[in-house]
Structure 1
Amino acid sequence: MKMEKTQNASRNIVFGVSLKVYQILLPFIMRTVMMYTIGVEYLGLNSLFTSVLQVLNLAELGVGSAMVFSMYKPIAEDNSITICALMKLYRTYYRVIGGIILVVGLLLTPFMPKLISGTIPEDMNIYFLYLLNLLATVLTYWLFAYRNSVLQAHQRNDLISKVTLVTDTVKYLLQIAALVVLHDYYCYVIVLLLTQALNNVLTAIIAKRVFPQYNPEGKLAQNEIKQINGKIRDLFTSKLGYTIVSSADTIVISAFLGLTVLAQYQNYYYIMSSIIGFMSIIYASITAGVGNSMITKSVDQNYREYCVFSLLVSVVSGICGACFLCLYQPFMTLWMGENLLLPFSLVVLLCVYFWIYEYIMMASVYKDAGGIWHQDRFRPLISGVVNLALNLATVRFIGLYGIVLSTIVSMAIVSAPWITSNIFKLIFKKNPIIYVVKIVYYVFSTVLASTVAYVLTSLISINGWIGLIIKAIVCVASSVFVMVILLCRMKEFSDALYLIARMFHLEKLLKK
């Protein structure tokens, strides 16, 4: 079965972006409410729990990615029997994973206070709060999680987005009520647990209705199970590395610098992670389509699509980076106040962090779609170890600078070159030098566009929300203008325009 990849991707992106806008605005409101009702330390505590539970989620091993990848071929061949057997295996694995996370999480409970430097609010029982968060995580595996794989493999992430929209509405309204009316952080966490269960159940119901032919039944051949287990083992080292990178920063800041500093850093990272979330919608929406292309198209066609994808991601990342550079400080001043601002030099480092991270995530789409996890298995792990070692070596001397610089170095020196080499050697079977030259040019375009935007916005002396809006307009317009001027002569640019036009059914306008 050949997928309608462009149609599916555009539908997933539209629904995904709508959901992401929603998921940014309401948590933003809630973060603000939390800050002004129960205090900044609770913001830091939220981030700490999230990072600890990310570490516990290592037990997932990459089962989800391996299962979705394993469904690409049977879906293309309309092989329902194999898909059902995969679902049954997926269900078994996730039941075991949930149990492992619960047991390990319980064993870690006595050590939670040691991960916090400085004071803890007197009315807070950190053990009980941690256990509530742990149970919410376990439920994500035990309640029909295996049915999500069918939707993802068929590029029906839009259905998942719709369900999440409903459950998040319930969650945010109840959590805001818990903070504003009751001033009770315990109720806030209990709501998280209940709505997570609701999300899993509703998603499973939708998946059953859309694909009633798929049920967890049957059995795979031993050689197929062995292949899947091999993919899972390869994905474990990858997941371990990504977890170290994403969680180590938060845990190290909490342990060495305290919850207040962590909340200060996380305010900035929240904005950046919101944009990262938008970008991840694009990646998630096209991964299944790319996987299908690996089967149905030639290597040269896939390489050409990869170059177009690289340009699009580089342009979007460059514009976002320019906005971070120009708007971070005025926005943070209005949102949280000058006392919680980070130095501008840290803002610059966060912009660099963002661009490199997006490049790696873009390349990871093709790594995942191409299933080259075995050859790539040590890259994230080594990058994560380098990041953690540099974190511990520098945090005592240069504080937050050491945290951000460690991550940048680990990504730029280890992860980005390594994943590029793997993709070109194993998927495209080409020398990457010409492509690397293009990436260097994209970096130059980003730096120039960001510099022009910063100079222009610095000339605007209007303060407040009106000034922020004017700066945003100037920043976006100037950065887009510079990047279009620098990139419009590239062949990938015209291909990218045509791809965007196809997604929105406007290709006839380009032909005219």
Structure 2
Amino acid sequence: MSRTRTQNTIRNFSSGLIKQILNIILPFIIRTIVIYYLGAEYQGLSGLFTSILQMLSLAELGFSTAVVFALYKPISEKNTDLICALVNYLNKVYKIVGIVVLGVGLALLPFLGQLITGYVPENINIYILYLIYLFNTVISYWLFAYKSALLTAMQREDIVSNIQTVTTVSIRVIQIIFLMLFKNYYVYILVMPIGTIANNIFLQIYSHKLFPQIIPNGKVPNSIRENLNKQIKALLISKIADTARNSLDNIIISSFIGLSAVAVYDNYLYIYSGIRGFFLVLVSAMQASVGNSLVEESVDKNYKDLNKFTFFIMFFTGWCTVCLFCLYQPFMQIWMSGNEKMLLSFSGMSLFCIYFYIINMNNTVNLYLHGNGFYWQCRWWYILEAVMNLCLNILLGYIWKINGILIATIITLFAFNFMPRTAVIFRDYFKRDKKEFLLNHFVYFIVTVAIAVITAMFISLIPTGGLIKFVIKSIAVAFISAILFIIAYRKNQYFAGLTSILKHKFKL
């Protein structure tokens, strides 16, 4: 990447990293308070309603992703008129999306009770609670939502991250105080829409300050609109597939097992998502820069970057996976105070680790897929992924409960997401054989499994139980696994580049 693209990526990543750390710590505190002060069923309701509203967000259809892709070229060419027209298009779409989400959300009210099996807290009206969640989602579309897409395309996602950090921290702190003072779930939830409104207003203020010339105005030319519509159709299918993977799990668990099982699954998913979030921050920080590179650099240059980025990301993915494998269950035992009912089995925990590894294999593939706008080329794979994930979720979830749902997710991620998307970018952009890329991934996976087993054997010698011993074990896991990865990859052609970046970053 050029110096400017690199600087933008580092700036975006740094601000996103701070946001992600706080997004792990504060919700963790809140979850703990909710579970201990109110009960696991309350956390289960939160997970269920969040999943339902993620399903409703399908109404967004991927318009913002398509518009961000369409903005790369006019931003590079400094075509202000076209930028304003695209922003205006997205602004109008979001207004309509908010109305659709509100209408469909209200239509689902009579069916809420059928999505919950087992005990529901007596002092909670699930319909009122759901309406608060729904309002929070709708208002996020109606208030300057397009500003986030504009800042992302302009390689200024650091502004989005910084604003979200300030508003999120403020709201979370207020929620923690209210929970401890009132022990009332309604008061806790009512704070949420206030944070959403504040976040979007600040986005409007700062984006206008940075780019005053960019205002929603004008009409997108027919030729660009036709291509946008084509991409949006494919992105709708993609969003259905992603939602089937990310949101249906909780709904199916609630229907088959109950709210307590949703809370157990959601707690493990929370830890997984927190660590996964660091990788999403990095990928998000890189996306606009990669998009710019695809416009301005050669295919050979971008192919080298793909392999370099893949090694960097899979190095840290492997390390995090080993740490998860060794520390997941001990941490959950401490967090849940040894309550076995709030813990998954060893096999369930291991499947979460595989889930984490497999989904991060997609990071660089998605960077170049989104950067090239190859959504239409993947449309049939999106459909197949969504259908297979839903069918396998129901079938395997019925047979093996939570383990079955995790297995279904892992299968669909690898077979119907990673493999076909890899095939598309190599066929339509790099125009070369993908065997080298896949072989590298195979090596990365085998190395990770081997190091996970070796590290676990070493760590089993350290006594478990208590926070102090957990901290000691965590340091040992992080250190031993890091050394093993360095030994394994010391002769890799991209390892020297990784160490150079780390030395420069930390002034070693």
TM superposition score normalised by structure 2: 0.97
Q: 2-side partners of 1:134 and 1:3: how far apart?
A: 43
- The question of whether the paired residues in 2 share the 8 Å contact of 1:94 and 1:146 is answered with yes
- The question of whether the paired residues in 2 share the 8 Å contact of 1:3 and 1:289 is answered with no
Q: Please name the residue that 1:233 is paired with.
A: 233
Match for 2:66: what amino acid? A
Report the Cα offset of residue 463 of structure 1.
2.6
Any residues of structure 2 matched to 1:114-263 within 5 Å, and which? 114-263=114-263
Q: Please name the residue that 1:296 is paired with.
A: 296
Q: Please name the residue that 2:467 is paired with.
A: 465
Report the Cα offset of residue 499 of structure 1.
4.7
Q: String of CA shifts for 1:111-136, please: whole Å, max 9, x gaps.
A: 11111111111111111111110110
Q: Please name the residue that 2:36 is paired with.
A: 36
- Please tell me whether residue 279 in structure 1 is matched to residue 269 in structure 2: no
Q: 2-side partners of 1:63 and 1:103: how far apart?
A: 19
Q: String of CA shifts for 1:225-278, please: whole Å, max 9, x gaps.
A: 121111111111111100101011111001111000110111111000001111
Match of 1:435 among 434, 437, 442: 437
Unaligned runs of 5+ in 2: none
- The question of whether the paired residues in 1 share the 8 Å contact of 2:55 and 2:243 is answered with yes
Q: 1-side partners of 2:117 and 2:378: how far apart?
A: 36
More deviation, 342-351/276-285? 342-351
Match of 2:377 among 370, 375, 378: 375
Report the Cα offset of residue 95 of structure 1.
0.5
More deviation, 381-390/38-47? 381-390
Q: Give the direction of change, closer, same or farther, for the CA distance of 1:140–1:122 in structure 2 (3 Å limit).
A: same
- The question of whether the paired residues in 2 share the 8 Å contact of 1:453 and 1:474 is answered with no
Q: 1-side partners of 2:18 and 2:123: how far apart?
A: 38
Match for 1:217: what amino acid? N
- The question of whether the paired residues in 2 share the 8 Å contact of 1:53 and 1:137 is answered with yes
Q: 2-side partners of 1:342 and 1:305: how far apart?
A: 39
Report the Cα offset of residue 163 of structure 1.
0.8
Equivalent residue pairs, number: 505
Match for 2:290: what amino acid? V
Unaligned runs of 5+ in 1: none
For the residue of structure 1 that corresponds to 2:119, the secondary structure is coil
Q: Please name the residue that 1:341 is paired with.
A: 343
Percent of matched pairs sharing the same residue = 37
For the residue of structure 1 that corresponds to 2:158, the secondary structure is helix
Match of 1:478 among 457, 477, 480: 480
Q: Please name the residue that 1:362 is paired with.
A: 364
For the residue of structure 1 that corresponds to 2:109, the secondary structure is helix
Q: 2-side partners of 1:434 and 1:227: how far apart?
A: 32
Report the Cα offset of residue 68 of structure 1.
0.8
Q: Please name the residue that 1:452 is paired with.
A: 454
Q: Please name the residue that 1:69 is paired with.
A: 69
Q: Please name the residue that 2:428 is paired with.
A: 426
Q: Please name the residue that 1:97 is paired with.
A: 97
Match for 2:30: what amino acid? M
Q: String of CA shifts for 1:431-469, please: whole Å, max 9, x gaps.
A: 101111111100111111111211111110153111111
- CA-based RMSD: 1.4
- The question of whether the paired residues in 2 share the 8 Å contact of 1:245 and 1:384 is answered with yes
For the residue of structure 2 that corresponds to 1:124, the secondary structure is coil
Q: Give the direction of change, closer, same or farther, for the CA distance of 1:88–1:505 in structure 2 (3 Å limit).
A: farther
Q: String of CA shifts for 1:460-479, please: whole Å, max 9, x gaps.
A: 01531111111111111111
More deviation, 219-228/35-44? 219-228
Match for 1:373: what amino acid? Y
Q: 2-side partners of 1:218 and 1:303: how far apart?
A: 37
Report the Cα offset of residue 218 of structure 1.
1.6
Match of 2:393 among 391, 394, 398: 391
Match for 2:107: what amino acid? L
Q: 2-side partners of 1:3 and 1:136: how far apart?
A: 40
Report the Cα offset of residue 329 of structure 1.
1.2
More deviation, 220-229/194-203? 220-229
- The question of whether the paired residues in 2 share the 8 Å contact of 1:449 and 1:478 is answered with no
For the residue of structure 2 that corresponds to 1:399, the secondary structure is helix
Match of 1:495 among 490, 494, 497: 497
Q: Give the direction of change, closer, same or farther, for the CA distance of 1:55–1:3 in structure 2 (3 Å limit).
A: farther
Q: String of CA shifts for 1:178-199, please: whole Å, max 9, x gaps.
A: 2111111111111111111111
Q: String of CA shifts for 1:260-308, please: whole Å, max 9, x gaps.
A: 0110111111000001111100000000000001011111110100001
- The question of whether the paired residues in 1 share the 8 Å contact of 2:330 and 2:464 is answered with no
Q: 2-side partners of 1:57 and 1:29: how far apart?
A: 27
Match for 1:181: what amino acid? L
Q: Please name the residue that 1:314 is paired with.
A: 314
Report the Cα offset of residue 160 of structure 1.
1.0
- The question of whether the paired residues in 2 share the 8 Å contact of 1:253 and 1:261 is answered with yes
More deviation, 481-490/310-319? 481-490
More deviation, 48-57/421-430? 421-430
- Please tell me whether residue 10 in structure 1 is matched to residue 10 in structure 2: yes
Q: 1-side partners of 2:83 and 2:391: how far apart?
A: 42
- The question of whether the paired residues in 1 share the 8 Å contact of 2:306 and 2:364 is answered with no
TM superposition score normalised by structure 1: 0.96
Q: String of CA shifts for 1:154-191, please: whole Å, max 9, x gaps.
A: 11111111111211122112211221111111111111
For the residue of structure 2 that corresponds to 1:215, the secondary structure is coil
- The question of whether the paired residues in 2 share the 8 Å contact of 1:238 and 1:378 is answered with no
More deviation, 84-93/172-181? 172-181
Match for 1:441: what amino acid? V
More deviation, 218-227/274-283? 218-227
Q: 1-side partners of 2:57 and 2:42: how far apart?
A: 22
Q: String of CA shifts for 1:306-353, please: whole Å, max 9, x gaps.
A: 001111111111111111111111111111122212111111111111
Report the Cα offset of residue 396 of structure 1.
2.5
Q: String of CA shifts for 1:336-379, please: whole Å, max 9, x gaps.
A: 12221211111111111111011123311111011111101232
Q: 2-side partners of 1:317 and 1:393: how far apart?
A: 30
Match for 2:62: what amino acid? G
Q: 2-side partners of 1:496 and 1:330: how far apart?
A: 31
Match for 1:142: what amino acid? W
Q: String of CA shifts for 1:52-108, please: whole Å, max 9, x gaps.
A: 001000000001101111110011111111111111111111111111111111111
Q: Please name the residue that 1:108 is paired with.
A: 108
Report the Cα offset of residue 381 of structure 1.
2.9
Q: 2-side partners of 1:327 and 1:179: how far apart?
A: 29
- Please tell me whether residue 406 in structure 1 is matched to residue 408 in structure 2: yes
Q: 2-side partners of 1:309 and 1:479: how far apart?
A: 21
Match for 1:377: what amino acid? R
Match for 2:334: what amino acid? L
